[in-house]
């Protein structure tokens, strides 16, 4: 080894590879850790293990096809990803979208958010060593997946949105089962607090580590629960309202601590808000068409279009540059996971290995979202 490489390290430091196959990275993320004993000195993410070059594929595909690529990005909020692309295309075409579609999209998006957060909660517990949480999270997520399956025919990559509306109308049971789920989940969500949130070991593990200040959160482009836990009001649903979010009342959960426990709490409280949004809409789904007819070949007028939505992980931006043909000239996805990952080094340095795992769990990284 040449001396320059050796000189980059202090004598006690060593490097280990966390990943690409590692239980805590939830996918194929590789972190190159520089460690002194147990203390993290530097975290360098190495990406690209499942990069599928979705942006390049978009330049070749039609807009209807692009929708199907997006739920392979953040597969836990696949519906919201689909919605983002559809909204961009609809805005570009200046289509009038039926009210029914807007409401259904919002309900399903919030169900998706709860499903994503329950899965996150289960995995979060597992990362700090409480294995039972995983099954509790999955028990409740399963019910949402059943609702999706009935309406969309799929449980994970739903592809329910098309530019112009929805692929088909909701299943007759949809309203009934969603209400049943709300009643069920309202009794189960307090269990989450009983099992994990108020556990003394868990609190000690989470409080005061991985602190992200508000200014840093903005500068790092943190969004979603990560940004809101630092007191940064970044809810796209509030600031750039879309679909039916302007007709419901809900609170944007803000915490000021910016530590791992604040990020945890924001997600738990967000599930309550999502429940309240669904409750407000579920009885008032307007009658009408479930799509607006579009041309079979969609050609966007020349120009640039940008649309942001709030996925379960934060702000997803879709940027389309069109030259008037049936394919986009350039398509860019600003994914929340990518920005949230970039701040990992900033907040994990100085902590222990256990802290890194807990911090990473509350960033809620989904690797295909980062490796688009």
Partner 1 sequence: MTNEALQNLTSSWVPELEFTEEKSQFLNITVQPEQLHSLMTQLKSNSETNFDYLFCLTGMDWGAALGVVYHLESTTHRHQIVVKVKTEDRENPTFDTVCNIWYTAEFHEREVFDFFGIKFNNHPNLKRLFLTEDWDGFPLRKDYVDEINMIIK
Partner 2 sequence: MNITKNIHEWLFSLMPATTASIVEMVLIAVVYLGIFAVAGLYLVLLERKVAAWFQLRLGPNRVGYQGLLQTMADALKLVSKELTGTIKADKFLYNLAPYFVIITALMAISLFPFTQEFQAFDINIGIFFLIAISSIGVIGILLAGWSSNNKFALIGAMRSGVQTISYELSVGLSLLTMVLMTGSLQLSQIVEVQKHGWLIVQGHIPAVIAFMIYMIAGTAETNRAPFDLVEAESELGAGFHTEYSGMKFAYFFLAEFINMFIIASIATTVFFGAYLSPFGITENIPLLGVFWFLIKTLAIIFLMMWFRWTFPRLRIDQLLVLEWKYLLPLNLMNLIIMALMVLLGLTIQF
* Residue number with CB closer to partner 2 (18 or 318): 18
Pick the piece of the chain touching partner 2 (CB under 8 A) from 55-63, 183-191, 348-356, 364-372: 348-356
Per-residue interface string for the shown chain with partner 1, residues 228-267, x marking contact by CB under 8 A? ----xxx----x----------------------------
Separation of alpha carbons 347 and 312, rounded Å: 21
Member of 56, 176, 186, 204 binding partner 1 (CB under 8 A): 56
357 touches, from partner 2, partner 1, none (C-beta below 5 to 8 Å by class): partner 2
For residue 133, give Cα distances in angstroms to 196, 266, 359.
8, 18, 17
Q: Position of tokens 């900033």?
A: 346
Binding to partner 1, residues 272-331 (CB under 8 A): 301-306, 308, 315, 317, 319, 321, 330
Strand order in the sheet with 30-36: 13-18, 30-36, 39-46
Alpha helices in 157-259, H assignment, sequence order:
174-192, 200-206, 214-219, 225-228, 236-239
Per-residue interface string for the shown chain with partner 2, residues 16-35, x marking contact by CB under 8 A? x-----xxx-----------
For 226-229, the CB contacts below 8 A with 24+ separation are 226/263, 226/314, 226/340, 226/343, 226/362, 226/363, 226/364, 227/314, 228/252, 228/253, 228/254, 228/255, 228/266, 229/255, 229/257, 229/258, 229/259, 229/262, 229/263, 229/265, 229/266
* Residue number with CB closer to partner 2 (98 or 137): 137
**Binding of partner 2 by 120 (CB under 8 A):** no
Strand order in the sheet with 330-334: 303-310, 315-322, 330-334
Least distance between partner 1 and beta carbon 141 (Å): 30
125 touches, from partner 2, partner 1, none (C-beta below 5 to 8 Å by class): partner 2
14 touches, from partner 1, partner 2, none (C-beta below 5 to 8 Å by class): partner 2
Separation of alpha carbons 354 and 372, rounded Å: 28
Member of 53, 132, 284, 325 binding partner 1 (CB under 8 A): 53
185 touches, from partner 2, partner 1, none (C-beta below 5 to 8 Å by class): none
Chain residues that interact with partner 2, rule: CB under 8 A: 14, 16, 22-24, 38, 125-132, 134-136, 139, 195-196, 199, 201-202, 204-205, 352-355, 357
């Amino acid at each position: 080894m040449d001396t320059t490489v050796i000189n980059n390290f202090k004598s006690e430091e060593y490097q280990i590879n966390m990943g690409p196959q590692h239980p805590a990275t939830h996918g194929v993320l590789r972190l190159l850790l520089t460690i002194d004993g147990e203390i993290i000195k530097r975290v360098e993410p190495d990406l690209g293990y499942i990069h599928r070059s979705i942006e390049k594929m978009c330049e070749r595909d039609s807009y209807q096809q692009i929708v199907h690529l997006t739920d392979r990005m953040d597969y836990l909020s696949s519906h919201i990803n689909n919605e983002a692309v559809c909204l961009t295309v609809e805005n570009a075409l200046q289509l009038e979208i039926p009210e029914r579609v807007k409401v259904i999209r919002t309900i399903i998006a919030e169900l998706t958010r709860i499903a994503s957060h329950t899965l996150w909660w289960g995995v979060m517990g597992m990362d700090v060593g409480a294995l039972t949480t995983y099954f509790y999270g999955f028990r409740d997520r399963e019910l949402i997946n059943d609702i999706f399956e009935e309406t969309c025919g799929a449980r994970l990559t739903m592809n329910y949105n098309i530019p112009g509306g929805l692929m088909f109308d909701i299943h007759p049971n949809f309203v009934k089962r969603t209400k049943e789920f709300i009643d069920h989940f309202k009794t189960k969500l307090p269990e989450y607090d009983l099992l994990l949130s108020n556990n003394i070991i868990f609190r000690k593990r989470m409080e005061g580590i991985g602190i992200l200040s508000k200014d840093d959160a903005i500068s790092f482009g943190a969004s979603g629960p990560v940004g809101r836990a630092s007191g940064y009001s970044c809810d796209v649903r509030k600031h750039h309202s879309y679909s039916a979010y302007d007709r419901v009342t809900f609170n944007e959960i803000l915490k000021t601590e910016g530590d791992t426990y604040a990020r945890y709490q924001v997600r738990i409280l967000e599930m309550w808000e999502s429940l309240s949004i669904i409750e407000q809409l579920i009885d008032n789904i307007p009658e009408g068409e479930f799509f607006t007819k579009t041309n079979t070949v969609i050609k966007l007028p020349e120009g640039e279009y940008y649309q942001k939505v709030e996925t379960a992980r934060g702000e997803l931006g879709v940027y389309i540059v069109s030259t008037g043909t049936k394919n986009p000239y350039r398509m860019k996805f600003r994914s929340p996971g990518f920005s949230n990952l970039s701040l990992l080094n900033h907040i994990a340095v100085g902590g222990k290995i256990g802290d890194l795992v807990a911090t990473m769990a509350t960033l809620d990284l989904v690797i295909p979202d980062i490796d688009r």
